[in-house]
Every structure is written in structure tokens, then in C-alpha cells.
């Protein structure tokens, strides 16, 4: 998998979503909750997340946070995350995992640009593009 550069804003379920993504991407997860009322790092396991990052081999893959309580939020409507896969096995595995409890908007298929490609919205209302460039 190649480097992914996306930042996702959630509305209180950042911890759950990033833990789910970590499971299937095989990445290290860093979670930094918003500070408590005294300005110290929160020890509340349900605290909203100020910043999180998934990394693989030291390279960032995905970053996310929970918005401030009461902030306007429209899940999955303002971006898509694109993953360039390194093998047919990888694209099939990731596409199947992320489509669990989600909605496939374009099934995996061979595209005119010489790639296997598919689109879906996952169970957290995040839109994903999966691409694997086919060898000739």
C-alpha cells in the first residue's frame, strides 16, 4: 500500500473508526484526546479525540479527529480517501473488509485506465476509493 494523505473529521466516534481501520491496515495507532477541564491529557476512555494518526513503517497513512461538540458535521460528504494497493490480494482483502456493514457504490472491476478499482462508503459513512494498477 502506498502513502495515503487524508484527514477525516468525525463527530464523537473517531476512536472507534480509527481502531477499526487499524485492524485491517496493520498500522500503528496514536490517539490524543482533547485535554480535560484542567488542561491536562484526558484519561477518560470515551473522551473525544483531538488528533489521531495511523502509521506504517514510520510513514503516516491517515489522520483524524473528532470535531468540537456542537460543530457542524456531515459524515463522509466532504472527501474521499484513496488507497493505491500493491497486489490483487490486497485490494480484494481491503475492499471486502471496509465494505462490511457499508455500501458498495462501485464494485471492484477492471477499468479502462488499466487498473482494478472500486468505491464504497464504509460503516462510518466515509467514502473510499481502492485502486490497483494491473501489470500488462
Residue 76 has pLDDT above 60, yes or no: no
Place of cell 466532504: 78
Choosing from 69, 94, 127, the residue where a domain stops is: 69
- Going by C-alpha positions, the residue among 30, 32, 28, 71 that lies closest to residue 49 is 32
Which residues pair with residue 49 across a beta bridge? 33
Residue 11 and residue 67 in contact, taking contact as beta carbons nearer than 8 Å: yes
Q: Span 20-29, mean pLDDT? A: 95
The pLDDT, as a whole number, for residue 74 is 74
**Please, what is the average pLDDT of the chain?**
88
Domain termination site, one of 69, 98, 128 = 69
Q: What number is the average pLDDT over the span 67-90?
A: 79
**62 and 124, same domain (yes or no):** no
The boundaries of the domain holding residue 131 are: 79-136
Q: How many domains does the chain have?
A: 2
68 touches 9 (CB < 8 A): no
Residue 74 domain flag: no
Whether 63 and 124 map to the same domain: the answer is no
Q: Give the mean model confidence (pLDDT) for residues 16-40.
A: 92
Instruction: Please tell me the predicted confidence (pLDDT) of residue 2.
Output: 59
Among the candidates 11, 38, 69, a domain finishes at 69
Residue that wins the pLDDT comparison between 131 and 97: 97
CATH number, position 91 = 3.30.720.110
CATH of the domain at 39: 3.10.180.10
Q: Are residues 1 and 65 in the same domain?
A: yes
In this structure, are 3 and 58 located in the same domain? yes
Residue 95 pLDDT:
98
Q: Quick one: 1 and 49 in the same domain?
A: yes
Closest CA to 91 of 128, 62, 65, 121: 128
Amino acid at each position: 500500500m502506498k502513502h495515503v494523505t487524508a484527514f477525516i473529521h468525525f463527530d464523537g466516534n473517531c476512536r472507534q473508526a480509527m481502531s477499526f481501520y487499524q485492524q485491517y491496515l496493520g498500522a500503528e495507532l496514536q490517539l490524543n484526546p482533547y485535554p480535560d477541564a484542567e488542561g491536562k491529557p484526558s484519561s477518560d476512555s470515551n473522551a473525544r479525540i483531538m488528533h489521531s494518526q495511523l502509521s506504517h513503517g514510520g510513514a503516516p497513512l491517515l489522520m483524524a479527529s473528532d470535531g468540537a461538540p456542537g460543530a457542524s458535521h456531515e459524515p463522509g460528504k466532504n472527501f474521499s480517501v484513496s488507497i493505491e494497493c500493491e497486489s490483487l490480494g490486497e485490494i480484494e482483502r481491503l475492499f471486502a473488509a471496509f465494505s462490511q456493514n457499508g455500501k458498495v457504490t462501485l464494485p471492484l472491476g477492471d477499468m479502462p485506465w488499466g487498473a482494478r478499482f472500486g468505491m464504497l462508503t464504509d460503516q462510518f459513512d466515509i467514502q473510499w476509493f481502492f485502486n490497483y494498477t494491473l501489470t500488462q
